[in-house]
Amino acid sequence: MTTALPLATARQDLWTGPVIDVDVHANVPSIDALYPYMDGIWVDWAIERGYRGPSAAATHYPPMSPRSCRPEWKPDGRPPASSVELLQQHILDPWDVQHAILNCYYGVDSLRHPDWAAALAKAVNDWVANEWLARDPRLRASLIVPARDPAAMVAEIERIGDHPGFVQVLLPARNDWLWGMRVFHPVFKAIERHDLVAALNMGGTSDGAPSSTGYASYFIEQYVAEWASFASQITNIISEGVFNVCPNLRMSVLEGGFTWVPVWGWRMNKEWRGLHREVPWVDSPPLDIIREHMRFSTTPIDAGPPELMKKVVGWLGSDDFLMYSSDYPHGYDDDLPGLMSLLPESARANMMAETARQWYRL
């Protein structure tokens, strides 16, 4: 496998055309950074309780794990990906990125205090707008929402969804409820109404076990099994008719991989043919619905031998299925050159920039 390539020289060897990166991360350096964006009552609430921020992010991105940050992207004395200057230094400038979609998974979904979760989501979104979007015109961002409270989710989308820098709403792949359930349909309607993209992203905290049969013993179990959360969510989103309720909705799948999608799609198509009477509103084969309404980030690639990967790429059945992502600052041994070598020239341009340009209205 060839490691991901962060240097400008490697970028030029790999691809000389435009680059749009659909998944770069921003880390809140400390809750103190959010105080200017909170009402005084919430600042007092955090200080009096000694609250230092949600712990959920560390569960999915252990601070010292090489999966959480590549060694060359670790700054001295501060968290990785915690300032726009670090992003510029590590990704935007070396890769000559035209646009990058900024995702700040802060773990607000782990909070059970409904008012505090809503206030913290608002603070994070305003921090992203002022400390990141306002400081680099190449950046666009996902807004975060309090995932346990659909009404509060809609309220936050209505509050800031028309900000020109926000192009997406981040939905963690793990949740107490499946995202396609009807209680969330007003959320997707709000996303569609503001011409935003809904994004399933790695992360999330639920009341139940993270797997269908219990709790993992090791991080590797949790990490490898994460794709199952994405598959469950997509199965439910299609079965519950989200794209019938919101026919113009676009959905991105970030950090979920993509090599599993064709095999899952064949199974879903087969069962749909036999059980279509149960979900008559699903009026197209599920894999066709995915190709129309969903796009997947390249990272992690999870590539196997080239001869097998070539088959997987062909099975995707679309030249605009994939969108390039560095997933900065997370670390993967992704064979991006190998993936590009399997794509026709038109699909390479789409993956590196043009699909994202259309998808995010850039």
- Cα 128 to Cα 170: distance, rounded to the nearest angstrom: 13
Q: Kindly report the length of the chain.
A: 362
Number of folded domains in the chain? 1
Alpha helices in 28-113 (DSSP H): 40-49, 56-60, 84-87
Q: How confident is the model at residue 213 (pLDDT cuts 50, 70, 90)?
A: low
* Residue 151, pLDDT above cutoff 80: yes
Percent of the chain with pLDDT over 90: 65
Mean pLDDT of 151-180: 95
**C-alpha distance across the termini of the chain, in Å:** 32
Amino acid 354: pLDDT: 97
Q: How confident is the model at residue 2 (pLDDT cuts 50, 70, 90)?
A: very low
What does DSSP assign to residue 149? -
Amino acid 211: pLDDT: 61
Amino acid 3: pLDDT: 40
* Residue 1, pLDDT above cutoff 60: no
Does the residue 250 lie in any domain?
yes
Mean pLDDT of 56-75: 74
Q: Name the more confident of 355 and 82.
A: 355
Tell me the pLDDT tens digit for each residue of 278-324. Answer: 999 999 999 999 999 999 999 888 887 888 888 989 999 899 999 99
Tell me the pLDDT tens digit for each residue of 37-63. Answer: 999 999 999 999 998 888 766 666 676
Tell me the pLDDT tens digit for each residue of 274-289. Answer: 998 999 999 999 999 9
Mean pLDDT of 177-191: 96
- Pairing of the two strands 139-144 and 197-201: unpaired
Order of strands across the sheet with 139-144? 20-25, 99-103, 139-144, 166-172, 197-201, 250-254, 294-297, 322-323
Segment among 23-37, 65-79, 141-155, 266-280 with least mean pLDDT: 65-79
Q: Return the amino acid letter for 232.
A: S
Mean pLDDT of 77-97: 92
Mean pLDDT of 154-170: 98
Judging by beta carbons within 10 Å of its beta carbon (0-12, 13-18, 19+), is residue 172 exposed, middle or buried? buried
Does the residue 4 lie in any domain?
no
Mean pLDDT of 150-161: 97
Amino acid 7: pLDDT: 45
Domain span at residue 311 reads 14-359
Segment among 7-11, 13-17, 118-122, 204-208 with least mean pLDDT: 7-11
Mean pLDDT of 90-97: 94
Mean pLDDT of 244-248: 97
CATH code at position 304: 3.20.20.140
- Cα 178 to Cα 231: distance, rounded to the nearest angstrom: 11
Tell me the pLDDT tens digit for each residue of 321-353. Answer: 999 999 999 887 778 888 888 888 889 999 999
Does the residue 5 lie in any domain?
no
Does the residue 1 lie in any domain?
no
Does the residue 60 lie in any domain?
yes
Mean pLDDT, the chain, as a whole number?
A: 89
Does the residue 7 lie in any domain?
no
Does the residue 265 lie in any domain?
yes
